[in-house]
Structure 1
Amino acid sequence: MSRLSALARRLDARQFAAYAAVPPSRAGWTGARVALVAVSVAITVVVLGLLALGVWLVVDGFPSWRLVPGLVLIGIAWTLRPRLGSAGERWAVVTEDDAPTLFALLARVATATGAPMPHVVALDYRFNASAGVHGLRRTRTLVLGLPLWGSLEPDQRVALLGHEFGHFVNNDPTRSILTQPALTTPGVLAQLLWPSRSLTNGNLLIAFAEWVLAPVQRLVARGFLLLQAGLLAVATRDHQRAEYCADALSARVAGSGAAVALLDGIAAASAVETAVVSAERKTQATATPRSAHPGPGPWREAARAARAGVDLAAVRDQTVAESTLWDSHPPTGLRARLVEAWPHQDAAVVLGRDESDRVDAELAKWYAKAGRDLVWE
């Protein structure tokens, strides 16, 4: 593992050097993308073949003994079908009627980044944020974790939105329908093949067969897991390039200083999140009714103190030292240093304190619920 870690650090350094002078542009058809699409096409052809064979076995001479293997093949094909992604369970969804100031800000950021508006704006109680495209209709979803959002200064909020909107336009190969089968199907096969707990109910013959086959199943399943790890490693560099593209948009929209401050806060996320949770516990200890929750003010003050007490240089170095070949994001410390290395940019979208406070007022009822869920988790 030490050699793999050293390789990851070398690749990170090489990527940093490549983008230090000029921010990366939207990724095109790289060798990695071509390879992933080729594997995806091969997998899709095999799955369609299994489905066609299964249907033929069921239909031909129906009813016959072929019905059972036909249904098995159809079931396997269904299990291996391409996944279009899912937004998952939404903690809360906010609409423009609920938060007109927030949506006006989102529209300004969308214009500045050249990205489309999200179809869904969801909220969450976790210390995170994300943006993605899901489902057959390719629904764009923006998720704002309120503890993270509430702990940020106004310009850092713009930087966060700039980065997340960047995911709608940075051509990330790991978010593409064309590459999805290559990145997920081997893992599904491994899960299918891994020996399950015996359901033999005392049948010694079946139990013996399971005991004999289990080592073979584990070996083949591990082979598929190794294949998936290799394909993910192939995709990682393009995915990290997409993250750097999103960082470049973040700096262009919010200004270089805000983008760096956001990234340093993410690098120190452990300390900041702990401080936010502690601040919320103090709020709840006063037995304040939920309707009188103070909002994110105490979180922001706690986050400021936590960031001020962190050795940012050491935290940046730590993210670099902990890098692996399969990390979906480049080391946060390198991301911050890369934004600093690019030519300085002033903010294209400015969020004033008053406007930021109006956004918080629109989200007030969700802040109270997020605080409760954050502490309980």
Structure 2
Amino acid sequence: MPTVVGGTTQPCPECGARIHADDRFTVWCAACDWNVDPKGHQQEREKEEERGRRGKRAGRDRLEEARRALARRYGERLHTEMAQEGAGPRARWDGATTLGYAIALAVHGVTAALLAAGVFCLVWGWGGGLVLLGAVLLAMAVALRPRLPGPSDDDGTVLRRADAPELYALVDEVARAVGTRGVDRITVGKEINASVVSQGVRGRRALSLGLPLWEVLSPQQRVALLGHELGHYGNGDTRRGVVVATALRSLTVWRYYFTPIARPTVGEMLVNAVCAVPLLLVQGVLSLLDHLTLRATQRGEYLADREAARAGSTEAAAALMDQLLMTESIDVFLRREVSNAALTGARSARRAAGASADTQDAGGGLWTRLAAHIASVPEHEYERQRRAGARRGHSVDATHPPTHLRRACLLAGPPSRAAVLLDDDRSGRITAELAGARAEVARRIVRDGMG
């Protein structure tokens, strides 16, 4: 990487064009894309060095890499299809989705068969040798049962409806705008993300807001974020359904139980050998189910983006995509804050100064500095991130289409006006409701870091 000169211009070493230099960001050339993605080049070199040292990547790494490549291909194809044909209100039910549901039902059928066999052995073999077998089969059925996400206070600071009525009212309004219902529970944490999941048998919805992302968004971008997460429940996303979601979790549990024991004893080597074939079978079924449902999930992401535009406006939804490209910058900034606090003894000083000073600084100072940092990012850095993301295939995770394609899909159609407006007064009231949670999450970041 070149030496960066703050606030100046310099010639591009490749094409000679004048380029802007800012000591906070990577220097690059918009004319020829010189140095547009230095991290991508570094990652490629590291991969080559790793292959040279190990001869081949670990199996789990290869699967994840192949999964991301498949997600990128699906994202590109779906972007083309949706741009040419438009999209219906729900994800399509096709052959892959049908087969995926059949496999998911078969997974649950195996668990049901274990349960039935265990009960049979206990009832008909009572007093004989079948009792032990029945107990083992029942234990397996319980261990491998379909699991629905349950509530956990460890996920973040919980906000009840009475604690944050304005925030809950906003979520309810966005939910109505995208054609679904609101949430039953809101937690805020330190993740640079947001999500809505259905928990328990009753399907109670829980919204998780990562404050590092929430705090850098404009009011309308926050509406778009909520519209995207809630929009998943109105578009028929396969993996949001109970059948497929619980089957994927069950298979993941099965894989965990069959995973070979590291550094085994002689007896454990025999266990590893016995588990090798079931592990391959489970991994194969898990990969197949993931493959069959990935396309529908990708379409669901595009459709959820459209709901985000409907709720917050196309402009806000597209700007949200830009902010997703900055998540690494947010993470770096927060880690730097943690390091600075440790080096200067700021945490000890705040504890000595008393709880009120600690709450004021942690709740406001960290988030104010983060928001100011992201607000100061110039347009040329956003453009570099867009181009680098397009080259690298940046996506939120392996189930999401590439971010640059999501943004392009939003901007391809006619612009949508916001169905929900979040003005400064209402936004201020929501911020006031979050004051305690902002202070608590900031303290946890400074105390525990971002890991």
TM-score norm. by structure 1 comes to 0.88
Higher mean C-alpha deviation, range 16-25 or range 110-119: 16-25
Q: Give the one of 355, 358, 363 matched to 2:429.
A: 358
- The within-5 A match list for 1:132-147 is 132-147=197-212
Aligned to 2:193: 128
Report deviation, 1:175: 1.8
**How far apart, CA to CA, are the structure 2 residues paired with 1:232 and 1:95?**
35
- The within-5 A match list for 1:260-299 is 260-276=318-334, 278=336, 287=350, 289-293=357-361, 295=364, 296-299=367-370
- 2:149 aligned counterpart, secondary structure: coil
Give RMSD over aligned pairs.
2.8
- 1:20 aligned counterpart, secondary structure: helix
The answer to whether the 8 Å contact 2:221/2:317 transfers is: yes
**How far apart, CA to CA, are the structure 2 residues paired with 1:132 and 1:58?**
37
**How far apart, CA to CA, are the structure 1 residues paired with 2:243 and 2:391?**
31
**How far apart, CA to CA, are the structure 1 residues paired with 2:139 and 2:435?**
47
The answer to whether the 8 Å contact 1:131/1:168 transfers is: no
- The within-5 A match list for 1:151-230 is 151-196=216-261, 208-230=266-288
Matched residue type, 1:357 = G
**How far apart, CA to CA, are the structure 1 residues paired with 2:71 and 2:169?**
41
Matched residue type, 2:146 = P
Aligned to 2:410: 339
Do structure 1's residue 63 and structure 2's residue 134 form an aligned pair?
Answer: no
Aligned to 2:80: 17
**How far apart, CA to CA, are the structure 2 residues paired with 1:5 and 1:139?**
31
Higher mean C-alpha deviation, range 240-249 or range 227-236: 227-236
1:329-376 per-position Cα deviation (integer Å, ceiling 9, x unaligned): 111111111111121112121111222122111111111111121232
Matched residue type, 1:261 = A
- Gapped regions of structure 1 (runs ≥ 5): 200-206
**How far apart, CA to CA, are the structure 1 residues paired with 2:328 and 2:88?**
29
Q: Give the one of 262, 286, 299 matched to 1:241.
A: 299
- Gapped regions of structure 2 (runs ≥ 5): 1-61
Matched residue type, 1:36 = G
Give % identity.
Answer: 31
**How far apart, CA to CA, are the structure 1 residues paired with 2:277 and 2:320?**
44
- 1:179 aligned counterpart, secondary structure: helix
The answer to whether the 8 Å contact 2:314/2:410 transfers is: yes
Report deviation, 1:237: 0.9
**How far apart, CA to CA, are the structure 2 residues paired with 1:319 and 1:79?**
42
The answer to whether the 8 Å contact 1:193/1:218 transfers is: yes
The answer to whether the 8 Å contact 2:394/2:403 transfers is: no
Report deviation, 1:230: 2.2
1:265-316 per-position Cα deviation (integer Å, ceiling 9, x unaligned): 1022101332355467779678471332362333211121246462435445
The answer to whether the 8 Å contact 1:280/1:299 transfers is: no
The answer to whether the 8 Å contact 1:268/1:315 transfers is: no
The answer to whether the 8 Å contact 1:320/1:331 transfers is: no
Higher mean C-alpha deviation, range 340-349 or range 40-49: 40-49
Aligned length: 369
Report deviation, 1:151: 1.5
Do structure 1's residue 74 and structure 2's residue 134 form an aligned pair?
Answer: no
